[in-house]
Amino acid sequence: MYMLSEEDKNRIIEMAWEDRTPFEVIHSEFNLTHNELITLMRNNLKPRSFKLWRQRVSGRKTKHIKLRGHLVGRHRCYRQGKINIKKR
C-alpha cells in the first residue's frame, strides 16, 4: 500500500462506511485491495469502531458489486459535485 494523504484516508474511511459504496469502487479509485482496506480501517479507527464497521459490512450485499441487485443503483454522495467546483 502506498502512502495516502490524510484527505485520501478520510475519504476512503467515509466510502467504506457508506452502505452503497462497493469495495470495488474503493479499489478502482484508490487501488486498495480488500485486505489493505481492512488494515487501513484497523489502523485508523478506534478498536470498537473497527469492530462495528466489520460487523456492519460483513455479508452486506451492497458492498460487493457481484452481490447487489440491479435495483440498488448508484449512490451519489451529497458532497459530490461540490468538492471540485472552481469559483470564477
Count the helices and strands in the chain (H runs, E runs).
4, 0
With beta carbons less than 8 A apart as the criterion, state whether 12 and 26 touch: yes
- As a dihedral over the C-alpha atoms of residue 70, residue 71, residue 72, residue 75, rounded to 10 degrees, the angle is 100
pLDDT, tens digit (0-9, with 9 covering 90-100), for 25-80: 899 999 999 899 999 999 999 999 999 999 988 877 666 565 555 554 555 555 55
Question: How far apart are alpha carbons 4 and 55 in whole angstroms?
Answer: 25
Residue with cell 470495488: 24
Question: How far apart are alpha carbons 23 and 37 in whole angstroms?
Answer: 9
The answer to whether the predicted template modeling score (pTM) of the entire model surpasses 0.75 is no
